[in-house]
Amino acid sequence: MFKEQTRKTFPSLGIARFIVGKTLGQGSYATVKSAYDVTRKHKVAVKIISKRKAPDDYLIKFLPREIDVIKVLKHPCLISFFQVIETTTRFFLIMELSEHGDLLEQIRLRKHVRESRAGIWFKNIHDGLSYMHNKQIVHRDLKCENVLIDSKDELKITDFGFAKRMTKHKNGELVLSETYCGSYAYAPPEILKGSPYDAYVADVWSMGVILFTMLYGRLPYDDSNHKKLLKQVQNRVVFPPKPEVSEECRIFILKILVKGQDRIPLSSMKYDVWFKKITQVEAPSCTIEESVTGQEPTTVDSGYGSGNINCPSNERSKDSSDVKCSPQECFEEPKEPKVLTIDEKIAQLQ
């Protein structure tokens, strides 16, 4: 009965190779369903995009860009894509299935994520995004809903609908992005202002919002009003008193949720005290593994930054003049670190 209903609804998938199951998510012109690959004998997820309902700019610009990106991304902290099938009325993107849902669902279930677990999951996001950035690809829509949890309790980034390859001008300068992407709650000040932005740096901000949300079970900013949100993101983020989060972690978040030119680069996170701590926690390794490759499609297979973070000595004090520090001093572990209280550290970052 299940198979007959599936074939009636999606004959190109049901008859060819896939038995389509329950709906995992639905949008205005796309639906994600679970499915079973009869040939490979494993479960998959299928993103079904309606050509009739999807806007022209999505079909002409964003979808071809997404397909171009997903074909080259193969990393254990990214959802794997196996196959793209095109018919006269739909696109079918066959991808890896994560049966434990998305990160937002887990946060709602747990109320908040304990710091040790949040650190491991943040490292998963860091590794997946670092891999993308090293390939000159940005995500531009990182949020809790776009991070899935697999059977090994590891996070995997998904939904590359706004992803794109970054390019440079002839003089070597990065071509800034001008398209607003993603959700207000995860967007940095430069995007909310409508300014051209460095998408590498914007991705880092979104990571910071995800980390804050995991730890506190709530978003750091109120996105119900755009003007209010724009004002909030330009001020220092406010940490709730509960649950308790270590001072090293709060300092790390403050390095992320700042204006673009001061935001910690992804490549420099490894020098941070808290980040070093979470990488020392025993966790399943996130190493490159060979991805499962899908069979050739039965229909048409369509081919389609950095900046310097302010360290304490970089800030202006009311009672002292400016003292500059090099990027190495900001990010590398000092030989003789000063012992400061959390209030002192936060005050210096203001």
Q: Of the residues 39, 64, 96, which one is the last residue of a structural domain?
A: 96
| Residue 291, in any domain of the structure | no
Report which secondary-structure segment, H or E, holds 205.
Answer: helix 199-216
| Residue 156, in any domain of the structure | yes
Same domain membership, residue 179 and residue 35: no
Q: Of the residues 96, 129, 164, which one is the last residue of a structural domain?
A: 96
Q: Cβ neighbours of residue 151 under 8 Å, at least 6 residues apart? A: 98, 99, 100
Nearest to 189 by CA among 143, 233, 232: 233
**Contact assessment for residue 38 and residue 18, using Cβ atoms and an 8 Å cutoff:** yes
Same domain membership, residue 245 and residue 109: yes
Same domain membership, residue 148 and residue 84: no
| Residue 5, in any domain of the structure | no
Cβ burial 28-50 (10 Å sphere, 16+ → b, else e): eebbbbbbbbeeeeeebbbbbbe
Phi first, then psi: give them for residue 211, nearest 5 degrees. -60, -45
**Contact assessment for residue 141 and residue 181, using Cβ atoms and an 8 Å cutoff:** yes
* pLDDT the model gives residue 222: 93
| Residue 7, in any domain of the structure | no
State the burial class of residue 198 (Cβ atoms within 10 Å of its Cβ: 0-12, 13-18, 19+).
buried
Phi first, then psi: give them for residue 18, nearest 5 degrees. -120, 135
pTM: 0.78
* Number of structural domains found in the chain: 3
Q: Of the residues 96, 123, 138, which one is the last residue of a structural domain?
A: 96
C-alpha distances in angstroms, 178 versus 190, 280, 312? 10, 38, 32
Q: Which amino acid is at 162?
A: F
Mean pLDDT by 10 residues, the chain (350 residues): 44 66 89 89 92 93 92 95 90 91 95 96 98 97 96 93 93 93 93 95 98 98 93 95 96 97 96 93 49 36 32 35 35 44 54
Instruction: Round to whole Å and give the CA distance between 346 and 26.
Output: 42
C-alpha distances in angstroms, 3 versus 9, 21, 36, 45, 217? 10, 9, 11, 16, 40
| Residue 297, in any domain of the structure | no
CATH code (residue 27): 3.30.200.20
Q: Residue 120 belongs to what domain range?
A: 103-280
* pLDDT the model gives residue 20: 87
- Per the listing, tokens 């990214």 go with 78
DSSP single-letter state for residue 319: T
* pLDDT the model gives residue 137: 97
Q: Cβ neighbours of residue 239 under 8 Å, at least 6 residues apart? A: 216, 245, 250, 253
Same domain membership, residue 265 and residue 126: yes
| Residue 305, in any domain of the structure | no
Q: What residues are annotated to the active site?
A: 141
Instruction: Round to whole Å and give the CA distance between 156 and 151.
Output: 11
